[in-house]
Structure 1
Amino acid sequence: MRVGLGREGTVTHPTLELQVDLKSTCNDGSVRIGEAAARLGVATHVLRHWEDERVVIPLRSSSGHRDYAEEHLQRLRIVKSCQRLGLSLPEIRQILHRDEPGRVAVIDRRVGEIRRLRAELDMAERFLGHVRECRHDFITRCTECSAYAGTRGEIGSDA
C-alpha cells in the first residue's frame, strides 16, 4: 500500500498494488503448501498430517503460512519413498535423523521384512512356473504343487 503526496502537495489516497502468483511461491524460492502438495502428488491435508506427526515441519511465514524450501520438498519425497517401503510415519521420523535412538533397529527390521517377502515371492514364482508346466490333470495330485500349498495355506503358518 502506498500513501504519498500528489500534485500541489495534496495527499493521495492509499492504493494497493496487486501482485500475482504469491499464493504458491515465495520470494526465497520456497513454496506454499498447495504448491508443495501438487509437486508431490498428495493432498494438502497429508502434508498437514505429516507436520502434526513431526515428520516434516515447514517454516512459517510472518503471516503464518507454511513455507516449504527445497530441502523440505526433498524430505517429503523421501517420506513418500519410505512409505512405499512400508514404513510408518513414526518409523520414518525415526530414520530421518542419523542420531535418532532406535534408528538402526527400525532399518534392520524393515530390511529383514523385505528379505522375507523376496524369498516368499521367489517361492511363489517357482510354484507358478511349475504349475504352468505341470503334467498332472489336477495340481492337487502333484506332490510339488501340494508341497508349496502345504507351506502356505494354513492359518497361523509362519512359512
Structure 2
Amino acid sequence: MAASVGLNVDMKSSGERPEMPIGELAEHFGLATHVLRHWESMGLVIPYRTSTGHRRYGLADRYRVAAIVQAKAAGMSLDDIRAILTAAAPAERNTVLQHQHDALSRRIAEAQAALALIDTALGCEHGDLASCPRFKAALAERVRCP
C-alpha cells in the first residue's frame, strides 16, 4: 500500500495524470478522436472503459500513442506498427523493425543526396544551372549509363 501511495505522490508531483479521456489525449497529441478510435479498432491501443463506457487512457496508453505517432512520422504503416507492438516473439518484431530500419536508412540517404544537390545549386553563379560544372559533377553518377 505504501508503494501505491508513493506512486500517486510521484505522479502528482511530476504533473502526470493517472488517466485522461479521449478528447484530452487526442488534443495532447494533435490527433482527432476518430484516429484514436480507429487505432483502438486495430488493437493498437486498448483504453480502460469506465462503468459508463467512457474511454480512459493511462500513462502506458500515452506511451503507446507516442510510439505510434513517432512510427507514423517515420513512414511506418499501421499494420507494421501493430506487428511491432503486438508481436508474440522478439524475432517477429525484429523482422519488421529491420525492414523499417532499412527503408528509413534509404530514405535518409536519398534526402541527404537531395540536400547536397540543393546546396550545390545554391552556390552556383551560372545563369544556366544545368551548365554549372559543380552541379553537373553532383549529378554525374546518375547521368552515367551502365
**TM-score normalised by length of structure 1:** 0.66
One-letter amino acid matched to 1:116: R
- 1:151 lines up with 2:145 in the alignment: no
Larger RCO, structures 1/2 (Cα 8 Å, 6+ apart): 2
Distance 1:137 1:43, change over 3 A: closer
Distance 1:123 1:35, change over 3 A: closer
For the aligned residue pairs, the C-alpha RMSD in angstroms reads 2.6
Deviations along 1:40-65, one digit per CA (max 9) or x if unpaired, are: 22121111011011110112122222
Between the two proteins, the alignment pairs up a number of residues equal to 125
- 1:46 lines up with 2:35 in the alignment: yes
Query: What does residue 20 of structure 2 align with?
Result: 31
Give the counterpart of 2:68 among 79, 82, 85: 79
Query: What does residue 122 of structure 2 align with?
Result: 132
> Partners of 1:133 and 1:68 in 2: how far apart?
51
> Partners of 2:98 and 2:136 in 1: how far apart?
33
- 1:66 lines up with 2:55 in the alignment: yes
> Partners of 1:36 and 1:135 in 2: how far apart?
51
More deviation in 121-130 or 84-93?
121-130
Query: What does residue 104 of structure 1 align with?
Result: 94
> Partners of 1:51 and 1:149 in 2: how far apart?
49
Name the one with the larger helix percent. 2
Distance 1:31 1:126, change over 3 A: closer
**TM-score normalised by length of structure 2:** 0.71
Question: What residue ranges of structure 1 are gaps of 5+ in the alignment?
Answer: 1-27, 153-159
Q: What is the percentage of aligned positions where both structures have the same residue? A: 34
Shift of 1:39: 2.2
> Partners of 1:114 and 1:47 in 2: how far apart?
25
Distance 1:107 1:142, change over 3 A: same
More deviation in 77-86 or 109-118?
109-118
Distance 1:97 1:53, change over 3 A: closer
Rg (Cα) greater in structure: 1
